[in-house]
Chains A and B, each alone.
Chain A
Amino acid sequence: MSTRLLRKRPSRIGPAVVVALTLLLLAVGLGWAGIAAFVTTGSVTAALAGTSGARVTEAAGNLHWNSAVVIAVGIVLALLGLVAFILGVSPGARRILGVRATGSEHIGDLEVALPTSALSQIAAAAADGVDGVSGVKASSNAKSTIVTFSTPIRDFEPIRAEVEAAVKDRFASISFDRIPTVRVQARRSQS
């Protein structure tokens, strides 16, 4: 099979919605101006600037290409364009981790994956089982997990080592294509 069934990279829904809404806003503005010009002049040959055309051209006549406003607009437009272009071209962060699995005779192609959010939850649950841990937070990307736990104990180094061992053990029990690296940070909670 050429295409994978599970999507590995983000599909840029957020930026696409923002750009589509901007297009719609532009459309509404242009349509509004056009129809307003039809109504005020009462003919199809109306100019967009309508009867107030003199005012628009006069305002534009007062603006120069090297004025701060025009240059600022140019910079903003170029930056937004660059951001959209980069969002379109760059593949984006991987959102799933591959897991090795042996297929069976009734499956042609087996693909197993764990989202990075699930990885964080598994790591947090493993750390939560260690004695002396009062709270856990974990964040992951496709290659690594950072576990931050809080503990009321002053000398937290032994607990940190125990948490790291627990999370690494848990990850080792899952046959990842590549086992994610684990980093553990301790924070002392007041109690």
Chain B
Amino acid sequence: MRRTAAAANRTGLIILGLIALLAGLAVLAIGFGLTASIGPAVEAGADLGPVASVLALPYSALIAVVVALILAIIGLRWLSVQVPRKDFAKPFRMQADARTGLTTVNAEVIAEAVAADLESTDGVSDAQVILRGTARSPELLIHVDADERADIDAVIAEVAERAAGNASMALGGPLSAVALEIGIARTRSRRQRSVSIQ
């Protein structure tokens, strides 16, 4: 339900994977003597001295620090986008005429009201709601935790009919999209959900 950086992750993995794969294959190609025809420096028996001599060039320390900074920025930025985001809508402007004043409603407030409404549904123990989009085309993302023995189809119908209906009435128009994810509430112990006769 929350947004993740799936596209960025996959692109990053593909790019860095290809770089590592090609570098590894190049090392292997030289090691197994496949590049001997190119030059004496890349023969299988040659030593790694020419590669290491790059490190002894002037300004190489400065270049290393700059490269380190770039790598650090990429790494930190990539890490920071891994936290799943809720991405609530910006506050809705509900007024008909802006000259007479603005009426704004926070998406979080509506989402909380919808969640409270959902939790009163039979078989639903917990609900999380995210509201995205605009006041004219709102998108509702709902996660409900249903009881493990609840009638799932009835829960879906109840959410689609009653809860979504109430939300659309509150917003004053139809919802452009509703996504409903149904989880199962963590089971209590058998003793708590059954009656034993002694």
Contacts and interface: CB of A to CB of B under 8 A. Distances in A.
Interface in A6-33: 6-7, 9-13, 15-17, 19-21, 23-24, 26-31, 33
Interface string B1-17: 10011101111111011
B175 A107 contact: yes
A12 B187 contact: no
B179 A6 contact: yes
Tell me if A's interface is mostly helix, strand, loop or mixed. helix
Given A19-B12, A60-B48, A60-B52, A108 B174 contact: yes
Contacts of B23: 77-78, 81
A161 interface: no
Contact of B21 (A44, A61, A81, A129): A81
A12 B183 contact: no
B94 interface: no
Nearest to B146: A118
Nearest to B28: A74
Nearest to A89: B14
Interface in B170-186: 174-184
B103 interface: no
Interface residues of B, number: 91
Interface stretch (A46-54, A147-155, A179-187): A46-54
A85 B71 contact: no
A63 B156 CA distance: 67
A105 interface: yes
12 contacts: A13-B5, A19-B12, A27-B71, A34-B62, A49-B56, A63-B48, A75-B28, A88-B13, A109-B177, A122-B148, A173-B151, A175-B153
Given A6-B181, A102-B160, 10 more contacts: A11-B9, A47-B61, A48-B63, A65-B30, A65-B46, A99-B156, A107-B174, A107-B178, A112-B182, A129-B149
Interface of A: 1, 4-7, 9-13, 15-17, 19-21, 23-24, 26-31, 33-35, 37-38, 41, 44-50, 53, 56-57, 59-67, 70-71, 73-89, 96, 99, 101-115, 117-118, 121-122, 124-125, 128-129, 173-175
